[in-house]
Amino acid sequence: MTDKPNHLPERLALLADLNAARYLTDGLLSGKENAQAIALNKVTEPLPHDGESRAELAPVRDLIDDAMYKFRDDRPTNADAWLAPRLHAALRLTRREAADRRIWNYLALGVAPDYVVWRHLVAKSQGDAPKVAAARFRGPAYTQAFSRLWWAAELYRDGPDYGPVVTACGNQEMLNTALRMDVIEHRPTAQAMVRLIGRGTVTSTREAIAMAAAINASAATLMYDVVAPDAERDGKPLRQWIEEAESAPAVPRRDLPTGPYEEKTPERSVDVLVDHFAELFAEAPVRGRTDAEEETGAEV
């Protein structure tokens, strides 16, 4: 199995797509080889905030080590809900910084290729040799191993509260399907979806897929930001939170960290969408649900 890199610099870095592709060997993707850490670090670029403490590599690597240890006897998918909010709090990125794929390429190949293999090594079908999809190392935001966790934490957190992130990441389709939808950037929509999961209205991954599809289709005719307006966003709390990284303690392992002290999502807007989404879900076709259940909107 792929091991932890034998060479870890002091600082995080940027790794361009073309350079990342050079190190995505079949041996690495199958978990039989280690990443070429020394050679890889020779082609990286420094982060724009390289001089800040949030660019330190060790706290992020330690967090990943703890995730792998904590879930060593569990399903690796269960690590998502634990790691997502803590990775977000450790990196303290702006959305513009997080949109740069190069930082995620480096995290996957230069910092924790062993985690990517541990978390995403699967066989496509029975009889196939297990392999990691290359997009888990170098891919779009909703697929790449670490980017998907960061964006899930960013889009599902409710201001400083990471609790909704834990709920969302406990259902894989809130990562695999919902993160692809434009409407998820509307905070009341994201929080309403999480509420339906938290209340047990939506439980299985199939139900989450059906809910997401129904909500996305309804957005074509109903403007969610009009019927359920969000609070006006203020960038100051995020800037302060990032500046506080210089003196912040290590990300807590037992308790959830605290995010930027932004205003929470308006409760009334969330309530409006919870009711609307519940009605949509009750009528949504869910694969595997019986005809009787379809008629009543009952859960599988």
Which of 37-51, 61-75, 285-299 is least confident?
285-299
Q: Work out the mean pLDDT of the chain and round it to a whole number.
A: 94
What pLDDT is attached to residue 127?
76
What pLDDT is attached to residue 292?
40
What pLDDT is attached to residue 134?
97
Give the confidence band of 128 by pLDDT, cuts at 50, 70, 90: confident
What pLDDT is attached to residue 291?
45
Please state whether beta strands 45-46 and 13-14 pair in parallel, antiparallel, or not at all (unpaired): antiparallel
User: Mean pLDDT, to the nearest integer, of 220-239?
Assistant: 94
Read off the pLDDT of residues 244-259 as tens digits, 9 standing for 90 and up.
999 999 999 999 999 9
What pLDDT is attached to residue 288?
64
What pLDDT is attached to residue 299?
30
User: Mean pLDDT, to the nearest integer, of 193-220?
Assistant: 96
User: Mean pLDDT, to the nearest integer, of 252-278?
Assistant: 97
Does residue 19 surpass a pLDDT of 80? Answer: yes
What pLDDT is attached to residue 300?
26
Name the nearest CA neighbour of 279 among 190, 203, 211.
Answer: 211
Token pair listed for 129:
């040799």
Token pair listed for 111:
């910092």
DSSP secondary structure of 148-206: HHHHHHHHH-BTTB-HHHHHHHTSTHHHHTGGG-GGGGSHHHHHHHHHHHHTTSS-SHH
Does residue 294 surpass a pLDDT of 50? Answer: no
**How far is the C-alpha of 95 from the C-alpha of 15, rounded, in Å?**
18
What pLDDT is attached to residue 296?
35
**How far is the C-alpha of 142 from the C-alpha of 155, rounded, in Å?**
12
Name the nearest CA neighbour of 151 among 135, 137, 140.
Answer: 140
Q: Are 99 and 93 in contact (CB under 8 A)?
A: no
Read off the pLDDT of residues 158-171 as tens digits, 9 standing for 90 and up.
999 999 999 999 99
| Domain locations in the chain as residue ranges | 1-142
**How far is the C-alpha of 29 from the C-alpha of 39, rounded, in Å?**
18
3-state secondary structure of 221: coil
Residue 298: its H or E element? none
